[in-house]
Structure 1
Amino acid sequence: MSANMIGFSFLMIGVFLMIGKVVRLHTKALRDLFLPSSIIAGFIALLLGPGVVGRITPLFLEESSMFYNGLIPTFILDVWRTLPGMFINIVFATLFLGKAVPSVKKIWKTAGPQVVMGQAVSWGQYVVGLLLTLLVLTPFFGMNPLAGALIEISFVGGHGTAAGLKDTFDALGFSEGADLALGLATVGILVGVVVGILLINLGFKKGIAQHVGGRSHFTDSEREQIAERHGYDTDTEVKEAKAIEPLAFHLSLIAVSIVIGYILQQGLIGLEALTWGAWTDVYLFPYVPLFPLAMIGGMIVQIFFDKMNIHMYIDQDLISKISGFALDVLLVSALATLSLDVIGDNIIPFILLGFVATVWNVFAFMKLGPRMIPEYWFERGLGDFGQATGMTATGLLLMKIADPDHQTPALEAFGYKQILFEPFVGGGLVTAASLPLIYQFGPVTFLIIATIITAFFLIFGLVHFGGMKPKWLRK
Structure 2
Amino acid sequence: MNAEMVGLSIILIGILLLIGKFIRVKFSIFQKYFLPSSIIAGFIALILGPEIVGSLFTRFQGENSIISNGVIHQDVLNVWTTLPGLLISVIFATLFLGKKIPNIKDIWLTAGPQVSFGQSVAWGQYVVGLLLTIIILTPLFGLNPMAGALIEIGFEGGHGTSAGLSETFHKLGFADGADLAIGLATVGVVSGVLLGIILINWGVKQKKTTILKDPSNLPKNKLRGIIEPEDRPSAGTMTTEPESIEPLAFHIAFVGIAILIGKGVLEAFTYLEKITWGNWTDIHIITHVPLFPLAMVGGVLLQIFLDKMDKFKLVNRKMILRIQGLALDFLIVSAIATLSLTVIAENFLPFLLLALTGIAWNLVAFIFLAPRMIPKDWFERGIGDFGQSMGMTAAGLMLIRITDSKGDTRALEAFGYKQLMFEPFVGGGLFTAASVPLIYQFGPLPILLLCLIIMLSWMGIGIFYFGKK
Same topology, TM > 0.5: yes
Distance (whole Å) between structure 1 residues aligned to residue 65 and residue 269 of structure 2: 47
Which residue of the partner structure matches residue 227 of structure 2? none
Q: Report the CA distance between 1:161 and its aligned residue.
A: 0.8
Which residue of the partner structure matches residue 140 of structure 1? 140
Is residue 2:392 matched to residue 1:426?
Answer: no
Q: Deviations over 1:187-227 (max 9, x none)?
A: 11122122222222222112111311499xxxxxxxxxxxx
Distance (whole Å) between structure 1 residues aligned to residue 61 and residue 318 of structure 2: 48
Q: Report the CA distance between 1:59 and its aligned residue.
A: 6.2
Which residue of the partner structure matches residue 16 of structure 2? 16
Q: Report the CA distance between 1:51 and its aligned residue.
A: 0.6
Q: Deviations over 1:386-410 (max 9, x none)?
A: 1111111111121122222222111
Which residue of the partner structure matches residue 405 of structure 1? 406
Distance (whole Å) between structure 1 residues aligned to residue 368 and residue 141 of structure 2: 32
Is residue 2:377 matched to residue 1:376?
Answer: yes
Which residue of the partner structure matches residue 78 of structure 1? 78
Q: Please state whether the residue corresponding to 1:82 is helix, strand or coil.
A: helix
Which residue of the partner structure matches residue 90 of structure 1? 90
Amino acid corresponding to residue 180 of structure 2 in structure 1: L
Q: CA RMSD in A?
A: 2.0
Structure 1 residues not aligned, in runs of 5+: 216-233, 469-475
Distance (whole Å) between structure 1 residues aligned to residue 254 and residue 53 of structure 2: 42
**Aligned ranges 1:50-449 → 2 under 5 Å:** 50-58=50-58, 67-213=67-213, 239-240=239-240, 243-310=244-311, 312-449=313-450
Q: Report the CA distance between 1:252 and its aligned residue.
A: 0.7
Q: Deviations over 1:336-370 (max 9, x none)?
A: 01000111111111111111111111111111111
Q: Report the CA distance between 1:239 and its aligned residue.
A: 2.7
TM-score normalized with structure 1 length: 0.91
Distance 1:367 1:163, change over 3 A: same
Task: Count residues with an aligned counterpart.
Answer: 450
Distance (whole Å) between structure 1 residues aligned to residue 66 and residue 329 of structure 2: 26
Q: Please state whether the residue corresponding to 1:92 is helix, strand or coil.
A: helix
Distance 1:237 1:330, change over 3 A: closer
Distance (whole Å) between structure 2 residues aligned to residue 237 and residue 96 of structure 1: 17
Distance (whole Å) between structure 2 residues aligned to residue 36 and residue 311 of structure 1: 36
Q: Report the CA distance between 1:60 and its aligned residue.
A: 7.5
Amino acid corresponding to residue 127 of structure 2 in structure 1: V
Contact in 2 for aligned 1:66/1:73 (Cα 8 Å)? no
Structure 1 runs of 4+ aligned residues shifted over 2 Å read 56-68, 236-239
TM-score normalized with structure 2 length: 0.92
Amino acid corresponding to residue 27 of structure 1 in structure 2: F
Q: Report the CA distance between 1:108 and its aligned residue.
A: 0.5
Distance (whole Å) between structure 1 residues aligned to residue 241 and residue 305 of structure 2: 16
Distance (whole Å) between structure 2 residues aligned to residue 62 and residue 360 of structure 1: 44
Distance (whole Å) between structure 2 residues aligned to residue 83 and residue 294 of structure 1: 16
Distance (whole Å) between structure 2 residues aligned to residue 405 and residue 263 of structure 1: 41
Amino acid corresponding to residue 407 of structure 1 in structure 2: D
Q: Report the CA distance between 1:130 and its aligned residue.
A: 0.1
Distance (whole Å) between structure 2 residues aligned to residue 367 and residue 403 of structure 1: 21
